[in-house]
Amino acid sequence: MEMKFFLFLFSYLNFAIIFSWGQNWNNWRGPLYNGSSDTTQSLPSKFDSKTNVKWKYEMPGPSAATPIINGQFVFISSIKIIDKSSGKGNLLAFCFDRNSGELLWMNNAGSGYRPGEDDGFDYQLDSRSNYASPSPVTDGERVIFFFGNGDLVSYLIDGTEEWRRNIQKDYGDFCFQWTFSSSPTLFAGKLYLPVLQRNQQAHGRGNSSALSYLLCMNPKNGNTIWKHNRPSVAKMESLESFGTVIPHKNQLLIAGGDVLTGHDPQSGKELWRWGTWNPNHKEQWWRLVPSPVVGNGVILVCAPKKAPIFAIKTGLSGTYEGKNGLSWQTREKPYLTSDVPTPLFYDNKFFILSDLKKVLSKVNPDNGKIEWSLELPGKYKWRSSPTGGDGKIYVMNHNGDILVVSSNEGKILHLAEMGATYDDNTRSSIAIAGSELFIRTNKILYCIQ
């Protein structure tokens, strides 16, 4: 097995030299950090759970993590439920051969750490998600997995554990109403993780002195380089964010706590701040799920629960509020809005999936004008963040149904049924690499060709 993997790794290293960005999907929102692929190859438009399947692998449990692809490797996290009644389970890290779907390695990545009192849950905090919800991230030398219980683990490409730590153990128990699920970000040789949390106990965990912070680490050993506290005057659940750090022009963008901020990657220093979508911070239950997305000189930030979407100007410095620093916002009621999915920027346009309205819209980044809107079918919620490439937009609902939509015309090209009967809470986003799609339902990981 070791010799086989060595030969495979040698082939990969030679092959990776000629690989383009469009062949990889190294982080949750892809190589451009905006949900789009720059692949020049044709992508599938007709497929289902049996048609045009290059390979598939039955996973031991559900996960909201998006597949991560680098060269010939596919990485994904999962839970394995041992005892559903007690909540006992394992947190697993997987690596597959991209061409054949062969399992190259699987590691039990969980430390068993459980915050606060023993509530019987090894793999989840609430009934809607689990600790395997964050997506892994890779730089081609290592792959780093983060789990909602605070476990952060790095493996070399051959599956050898490089280092591990637990963020809750190091900096105090998380204070979230729901299971924490931000994905880590690798940028310019450093590893970043945001922990934007409330300043009071949640589910009996944490304490009133808890602070929100941005953490920067060395990806080679996991050591902290700096930890920057990020203050906010938001209240209760509105302090919480499940978004991911998005790099842009040597800044780190973070949304949460009723504000959008830009930070220096070298120190964490806050360079600018814009807010708020929550006037006077009167709403106490506005947790934030979507991450920021950048396109054509603006940064989109999605206010929660039927509130508008705001387009903030890039290049800010200092503190801004209201119309200062604002390029445009969605105005017509009911607002163009997004409570859970992160918008897509593709082919110089924004594509916003409104999960509450069940509508996908193409939006001009210069003025917020809607160029087309498409009502989405079925009874299930559409909450996976949209992905774009080859003139197509891919969106998935809780049942594992996938819509293929023409990016130019907003017409449905295909509806693929990928989930199991009565399946629900499928939350992973679709990844694109080369001419293939990687789809993670609750039960199966697919490679579609």
Which of 30-39, 160-169, 173-182, 281-290 has the least mean pLDDT? 173-182
Q: Is residue 161 within 8 Å of 106, Cβ to Cβ?
A: no
In-domain check, residue 428: yes
CATH number of the domain that residue 112 is part of: 2.130.10.10
- 7 sits in which H/E element: helix 2-16
In-domain check, residue 400: yes
Give the mean pLDDT of the chain.
92
The structure's pTM equals 0.93
In-domain check, residue 22: no
Judge residue 334's burial from the number of C-beta atoms within 10 Å of its C-beta, 0-12 exposed, 13-18 middle, 19 or more buried.
exposed
DSSP category for residue 93: E
In-domain check, residue 227: yes
Residue 322: how many CB atoms within 10 A of its CB?
Answer: 10
- Residue 2 confidence class, pLDDT cut points 50, 70, 90: low
Q: What is the pLDDT of residues 33-62, one digit of tens each?
A: 999 999 999 999 999 999 999 999 999 999
Residue found under tokens 């003139």: 391
**pLDDT on residue 5:** 53
User: Which residues have a Cβ under 8 Å from the Cβ of 283 and sit 6 or more positions away?
Assistant: 238
110-138 as b/e: b if 16+ CB within 10 A: bbeebbeeeeebbbbbeeebbbbbbbbbb
- 13 sits in which H/E element: helix 2-16
- Residue 204 confidence class, pLDDT cut points 50, 70, 90: confident
Total of domains in the chain: 1
Q: How many helices (H) and strands (E) does the chain have?
A: 2, 33
For the chain, percent of residues with pLDDT exceeding 70: 92
Q: CA-based Rg of the chain, rounded to a whole angstrom?
A: 20
Q: Is residue 336 within 8 Å of 372, Cβ to Cβ?
A: no
- Residue 403 confidence class, pLDDT cut points 50, 70, 90: very high
In-domain check, residue 332: yes
Strand, helix or coil at 238? helix
- Residue 209 confidence class, pLDDT cut points 50, 70, 90: confident
Pick from 4, 11, 18: nearest CA to 434? 18
**pLDDT on residue 378:** 92
Domain that holds residue 114: 2-16+27-448
Q: What is the pLDDT of residues 211-268, one digit of tens each?
A: 999 999 999 999 999 999 999 999 999 999 999 999 999 999 999 999 999 999 999 9
Q: Which residue has the higher pLDDT, 120 or 201?
A: 201
In-domain check, residue 321: yes
- Residue 87 confidence class, pLDDT cut points 50, 70, 90: low
Q: What is the pLDDT of residues 293-332, one digit of tens each?
A: 999 999 999 999 999 999 999 999 999 999 999 999 998 7
**pLDDT on residue 82:** 85
